[in-house]
Chains A and B, each alone.
Chain A
Amino acid sequence: MKRFFACFLACLLLIPLASCGGIGGGNEKYTAYTLDYFDTVTTVIGYADSKEAFDLVANDIFATLRRYHELFSIYDSVDGINNLKTLNEERSAVVSEELLDFLEYGKAMYEKTDRRMNIGMGAVLSLWHKAREEGLLDPVKAALPDEEALREASLHCDLDALVLDRQTMTATLTDDKMLLDVGALGKGYAVEMAAKQLEEAGITGYILNAGGNVRTVGTRADGSFWLVGVEDPNREGEYLSTVPVADASLVTSGSYMRYYYVKGKAYHHIISPDTLMPSEFFVSLTVLCRDSAEADALSTALFTVSYEEGLRMLENFPDAEVLWLFPDGEIRTTEGWQGEM
């Protein structure tokens, strides 16, 4: 009987061998999100040994995003700091090193994108913002911004009028009517700063997603690449492309994200510096490169130029890959686009 029992135990030992397979390592996957920053939903996905360990990392990320959110705000004052609202109102302000670094980066991007990515277009964008907000509140009375006012505002968008002084840590707007609006760059920049913090701390296995501004840090826990789906605005739940990535950023700019209707026609939020109207070259475009700030800047800049001009601009960004979706449904990508179509 004893021996029979031993046989039975031996057989029991075999069962886990037969039934294993497909179960990953011990690292658990967690998710956290917040609606508090950059007028969008921010998600953190990551692998950690415990919920507590994950929460520590996620809270660090959120704290960084919060700091930049406050620095970049043009609508809300924040006690004790000079942010962009302060600068827009006072025209000159002593700013933190973090904000000065960012403004410097904005000026560099302005040059690198042929003056397409412009954080000094606030005068024009505020007219559109106001018209859109009013149009969404009262769709019957929805109207476009006044053409003359737009043209006047566009004369005050030369970013060279933003003067930075590292000695005195001062930022000055030398054009009286210039307004900063960093909506097209701030999110990506803040996400990049948070991601760099993780990298410096040696933490991997995370995705940071601020409203579709995605930055991956490392790979999944099992070493495989993350899969990022590029949304197909015409077919819900389908993807234009699925891209395996590690340590990379993807940002989509799309005409379907923020818009309002005027007399039955949709007007979205990416305004061309040439026409001062929403750009109509593409339905959406997605940029893939390592740096999230660069991806954010580039996606906006490319959205306002033709495909051919975009290819020329990309010569300044050798590690960036792009997927364009044209209004007629055609999809084009740069040669190095790694995604599965």
Chain B
Amino acid sequence: MTSRLHRARRNDILLIASLVFLALVGILLSLFLRRDGAYCVITKNGEEVGRFSLSADREITYYEEDGVGFNTVRIENGRVSVTAASCPDKICVRSRAIRYHGETVVCLPHGLVVTVYGDEEGPDIIV
């Protein structure tokens, strides 16, 4: 009886240790592999409404169809954030400013998503 308990505990520890180890590897990998963002894409209900370089500071406000609801997106010092919004939960405003490839800020009530992309991709075509 005791030996079975011991074995169970030993396996639990093994499981936990390997999970912690993998999590650490994951965190380290994501830290090393994360790429600086070059531009951000803003979509509203799935449709792209804006695309801006992170290298120039600017502020853009996107209004809801009713003309009252809004989200203000600010690009500053290579980071982008939602600085003001009329949504009830304000989760987008409380999200921290993002700057790495793949990061997002989301405002669910307004269907607004800001995504940062790295600059490894050039244009698809040249004229």
Contacts and interface: CB of A to CB of B under 8 A. Distances in A.
Interface of A: 3-4, 7-8, 10-11, 14-15, 18-19, 21-22, 43, 45, 207, 209, 212-214, 220, 223-231, 239, 242, 244, 246, 250-252, 286, 340
Contact of A228 (B15, B101, B126): B126
Interface string B109-127: 0000000000001111111
A227 B18 contact: no
A4 B122 CA distance: 48
Q: Which 6 A-B pairs have the closest CB atoms?
A: A229-B123, A18-B26, A227-B123, A252-B127, A7-B15, A229-B126
Interface string B60-74: 000000000000000
A207 B101 CA distance: 25
B48 interface: yes
Interface in B66-106: 101-102
B46 to A, nearest CB: 7
B111 to A, nearest CB: 14
Interface in B3-24: 11, 14-15, 18-19, 22
Nearest to A252: B127
B11 A4 contact: yes
Interface in B41-64: 41, 46, 48, 51-53
B14 A251 contact: no
A227 B39 CA distance: 12
B50 to A, nearest CB: 9
Contacts of B29: 18-19
A21 B102 CA distance: 8
A3 B127 contact: no
Contact of A7 (B14, B46, B123): B14
A4 B127 contact: no
A173 B15 CA distance: 87
Q: Secondary structure at chain B's binding surface: helix, strand, loop or mixed?
A: mixed
A242 B38 CA distance: 13
Interface of B: 11, 14-15, 18-19, 22, 25-26, 29, 39, 41, 46, 48, 51-53, 101-102, 121-127
Contacts of A213: 127
A198 B101 CA distance: 33
A226 B121 CA distance: 11
Contacts of B121: 227
Contacts of A226: 124-125
A4 B52 CA distance: 50
Contacts of A220: 124
B22 A14 contact: yes
16 contacts: A4-B11, A11-B15, A207-B125, A209-B125, A212-B126, A212-B127, A226-B124, A227-B122, A228-B127, A230-B126, A239-B123, A239-B126, A242-B123, A250-B127, A252-B127, A340-B53
Nearest to B19: A11
A230 B127 contact: yes
A214 B123 CA distance: 13
B125 A340 contact: no
A114 to B, nearest CB: 24
A323 to B, nearest CB: 10
B18 A11 contact: yes
Contacts of A224: 41, 48
B48 A225 contact: yes
A225 B46 CA distance: 12
A227 B124 contact: yes
B22 A15 contact: yes
B48 A244 contact: yes
Nearest to A239: B123
Nearest to B41: A224
